[in-house]
A = this chain, B = another copy of it.
Amino acid sequence: MREIGVGIIGVGVVGSSVVKILRENEEIISARIGAKLVVKRGVVKNISKARDVVLSLDTDEDALINDPNVQIVVELMGGVDDAYRIAKKVLKSNKSLVTANKAMLAYYRYELEQIAKDNFIGFEASVCGGIPIIKALKDGLSANHILSLRGILNGTSNYILSQMSQQKISFEAALKSAQNLGYAEADPSLDINGQDAGHKLLILASLAYGINAKPEEIIIEGITKIHGDDIVFAQDFGFVIKLLGIAKKVHNEVELRVHPVLIDENKMLAKVDGVMNAISVIGDCVGETLYYGAGAGGDATASAVISDLIEIARGKNSAMLGFEKDHFSLKLRDKGCIQSRYYLRMSAFDRVGVLTKIAGILSENNISVEMFLQKQAKDEIVRLCIITHISLEADIVLALQKIDQQEFIVEESFFIRIEDFK
């Protein structure tokens, strides 16, 4: 049987899983492609570190890339610039590349597509681990204009929000629990500040819209300001709070943003709990489809890496980002143009006239109120929660600034956008 040589640069959790699964599932994988995928060698930074993998390892990436027995290079080292340098080297050596590196792709996906020419670049593992969402957008939904895409793209954040909601615990306690279970790193910043989800959203947006945006150009907000009260208030109004990556076509522009949202508790995405990921995609022909699964973990991510190896072995070859040529020039939408319903949370001294004043400021700023809830927080202090009708984000920001200048306000006010599925 024909043998296809694979080299792995970065043999950590995912790399070890790739080696293990290619061996354990060798029979069925070979049957699926009519050829055998064999990992020939790996490159690691620290050769003396003990590893749970039987594989010829060294520290020389060039030797691996130039090895005539290696036809496909798998990059699992992480980081941005070093990984990009190596990826370029692989493609220039006329070999195929498989990568799980979302941060690198968030910056350099179009550059890589240019260099790739006839070499395949697989990156299914870069977004939501084992869920085949890259292939769904590239192949499965290829007849559609994607009207919108909304994803729970970060399992750590989703676990924290689920715990806050189900166990009625604080953000800090939920984060602690995530760290204890290994769902969050010692430094959890990238997960909880939305950056990780942002990288994934940019990759998905390229497949859906052919748009080349960078992390700095889009709204990326995390979940650190979400309060237990917000979750309870949201539930009272029939909503669930989720951190979503959102891509949406509005005329000739694309809105891209990552931030917490309130969504209707009856939507499928609202039902995705714990560390699981899911992406809802609305196409103009197909309507809503949804993809659900584990977004991280060695074996789940390796499942995606190997699915790319199999596609390369089967000889598939189409444009990396799904478009063979530019079709129309969708532009990134200005951040200030966002319109949605909003959830507003304020804390104020419990005095006569407070409500009148707040209502006045909102109406002066073109904001009309859909639902209103007031609860005693502590002695003399009340929490006010408001759901607005559709408003312009610029108006919301301005109104909250004015409200926060009032002497009866006791802490900074806060808003969360409400995501209606249209």
Chain A residues in the interface with B (C-beta under 8 A): 17, 21, 25, 27-35, 124, 129-132, 135-136, 139-145, 210, 268, 271-272, 278, 283-294, 297, 299-300, 302-307, 310-311, 314-319, 322-328
Give bound CA distance, A327 to B1, whole Å. 13
Interchain CB contact under 8 A, B285 and A143: no
Question: Is B300's CB under 8 angstroms from A287's CB?
Answer: yes
* A143 contacts B306, C-beta separation under 8 Å: yes
Q: Return the chain B residue nearest A300 by Cβ.
A: B286
Contact B292 A25 (CB under 8 A): no
Q: How far, in angstroms, from A291 to B35 measured CA to CA in the complex?
A: 29
Could you list 14 further interchain pairs (A-B, Cβ under 8 angstroms) beyond the known A25-B143, A132-B135? A25-B285, A27-B327, A27-B328, A31-B328, A132-B289, A135-B136, A135-B140, A139-B307, A141-B303, A288-B293, A288-B294, A291-B291, A314-B318, A316-B316
- Count of chain copies: 2
Shortest C-beta distance, A213 to chain B (Å), equals 18
Q: Evaluate contact between B139 and A139: CB separation under 8 angstroms.
A: yes
Q: Which residues of B contact A31 (CB under 8 A)?
A: 210, 323-328
10 pairs, A vs B, C-beta closer than 8 Å = A21-B143, A29-B143, A32-B322, A129-B286, A131-B289, A135-B136, A136-B140, A139-B310, A287-B293, A287-B297
Q: Please indicate the chain B residues that have their CB under 8 angstroms from the CB of A25 in the complex.
A: 143-145, 284-285
- Inter-chain CA distance A136–B131, complex, in Å, is 9
Give the interface centre of A141, A294, A302, A311 by most chain B CB atoms within 10 Å.
Answer: A141
| Cα(A129)–Cα(B283), bound, Å | 13
Give complex CA distance A315, B283 in Å: 24
Q: Residues of B contacting A291 with CB < 8 Å?
A: 289-292
Q: Closest residue of chain B to A21, judged by CB?
A: B285
By beta carbon, the residue of chain B nearest A281 is B293
Shortest Cβ distance from A171 into chain B, in angstroms?
24
- Complex CA gap A104/B131 in Å reads 30
**B32 lies within 8 A of A142 (CB):** yes
Select one of B21, B316, B324 contacting A33, CB under 8 A.
B324
Whether B140 lies near A28 (C-beta < 8 A) is no
Q: When the two chains form their complex, are residues B311 and A139 in contact, meaning their CB atoms are under 8 A apart?
A: yes
Cα distance, A62 to B120, chains bound together (Å): 39
Given contacts A34-B325, A135-B136, contact A310 B210 (CB under 8 A): no
Residue in chain B with minimal CB distance to A323: B31
Query: Which of B132, B319, B322 is the one whose CB lies under 8 Å from A141?
Result: B132
How far apart are A383's CB and chain B's nearest CB, in angstroms? 31
Partner of A307, one of B142, B290, B323: B142
A132 close to B143 (CB less than 8 A): no
Query: CA of A34 to CA of B318 in the docked complex: distance in angstroms?
Result: 10
A130–B299 CB distance below 8 A: no
* Contacting residues, chain B, for A305 (C-beta < 8 A): 143
Report the minimal beta-carbon distance from A135 to chain B, rounded to whole angstroms. 5
State in angstroms the CA–CA spacing of A79 and B272 once bound together.
39
With beta carbons under 8 angstroms apart, the residue of B286, B294, B318, B323 that contacts A287 is B294
Q: In the complex, which residues of chain B have a beta carbon less than 8 angstroms from the beta carbon of A289? A: 130-132, 291-294
Report Cα–Cα, A292/B292, bound state, in Å: 8
Q: Which residue of B lies closest to A299 (CB)?
A: B285
* Contact across chains for B307 and A292 when beta carbons are under 8 A apart: no
Contact among B28, B293, B323, B327 with A327 in the assembled complex (CB-CB below 8 Å): B28
Q: Find the B residue at minimum CB distance from A28.
A: B327
